[in-house]
Structure 1
Amino acid sequence: MSVSIRPARAEDRDVLGALKLRSSLAWGDHVEELLAMPEAREVPAAHLPNIAVAELAGEIVGFVTVLAGDDATRAELEDLFVAPEAWRKGIGSLLVAEAERHARTLGAQTIEVVAGERARPFYQASGFRFAAAVQTELAPAVRLEKDLS
C-alpha cells in the first residue's frame, strides 16, 4: 500500500491534533505534562498552509509543519508526527523530504529542527547535523540543521 502526501485542509485539524498527542504519548515520556498542555493536542489554523499530511489507505498517518524562519534563508521543521502504528514504514522519511521541498519553496537554504534524544538519531540519519544544545519545556534537546543547497 502506498503513502500519499497532500496539503492539510481545515477539516483535518481535529484528526491532526489527536495524532499529535497520541504520537507524543507513545513513548511514555512526560505523559502528565503533555496531557496538561493544550498545545500538545492542537494544530493552529494559521499553520495549515504549511502542513503536509501523509495518508495510507485513506487515513491520516502523519504530518509535517514547516515554517519560515526569522532569517529568510532558514526554515523550521516545527512538527513531525507519525501515528505509532505506522512507525518504521518510511512515512517519517517521506515527510522530511516534503518538509525540505516546502522549505525550498519558502526560499530557505537551511532547515532546522529541535529534537529530543529519542528523535535525534532519526534526524541525523536524514542528514541533519548538530547545531546547539537547547532546553524545551519538557527536557533538554538539540537544535539540528540541514543545508538545502
Structure 2
Amino acid sequence: MMSLAEGFGPTVSIRPARVEDRDALGALKLRSSLAWGDHVEALLAMPGAREVPAAHLPYVAIAELAGEIVGFVTVLPGDDAARAELEDLFIAPEAWRKGIGTRLVAEAERRAKTLGAQTLEVVAGERARPFYETSGFRFAASVQTDLASAVRLEKDLC
C-alpha cells in the first residue's frame, strides 16, 4: 500500500481492488457521475453506470481515507502493448478537489508502465477534460460516447 498524506488530516492510501469492493465501487461510480446533474435520466437507465465489471477488478486501484473508499481508477491494457487505457476515474463528490484524482492519475501512470505501455489514453467529457490536460494529457481525437461528444486524450509515459 502506498501512503498519500499531502493535503489530508488522515492518511489516504492506495490499494488494489478486491472482489468484495465491487458493489461499493459501482455505487461510487454512479454517485460521482450523478453529482454534476448532467445526463441524470440516461445514467440511471444505464446498468454500466453503476457497475465495475468483475473482469476489470485486477486493474482497479482504490483510494481510501479513514478506511472508506473515496475514489478509484481502472487502467486496462490497450489493443497494442504500447498503449493502456485509463478506463475509469471516479472520486466521491465530498472528496473532490483534495488531490485524490491527481494521486490516482499518478497511480494509473505507474500501472500503465507496469503493463509495458508507453502511452496512456483516456476518453474525457467536457467537465473532465481540463483536469486531464492539467495532468499532462493532450488532445488526440474527438469521439462520441453513449451520452455526449467527448475527446480522446493521451499522455506519453516515457
Q: Does TM-score exceed 0.5, indicating one fold?
A: yes
2: CA distance, partners of 1:139 / 1:95: 24
Q: What is the correspondence of 1:36-75 to structure 2 with a 5 Å cutoff?
A: 36-75=45-84
Superimposed CA distance per residue, residues 69-126 of structure 1 (whole angstroms, 9 cap, x where no aligned partner): 0011000000000000000000000000000000000000000000000000000000
Q: Secondary structure at the match of 1:143?
A: strand
Q: Does 1:3 align with 2:40?
A: no
* 1:99 maps to 2:108: yes
Say whether residues 1:79 and 2:58 are aligned partners: no
Structure 2 letter corresponding to 1:42:
E
After TM superposition, the score normalised by the length of structure 2 is: 0.94
The residue type paired with residue 51 of structure 2 is E
Unpaired runs of 5+ residues, structure 2, are: 1-9
In the TM superposition, residue 134 of structure 1 has moved relative to its aligned partner by: 0.4
Report the equivalent of 2:3: none
CA distance in 1, matches of 2:45, 2:97: 28
Shift of 1:42: 0.5
Specify the alignment match of 2:137 in structure 1: 128
Runs of 4+ displaced beyond 2 Å: none
Identity %: 85
RMSD over aligned CA atoms reads 0.4
Gaps (5+ residues) in structure 1? Answer: none
Query: What is the TM-score normalised by the length of structure 1?
Result: 0.99
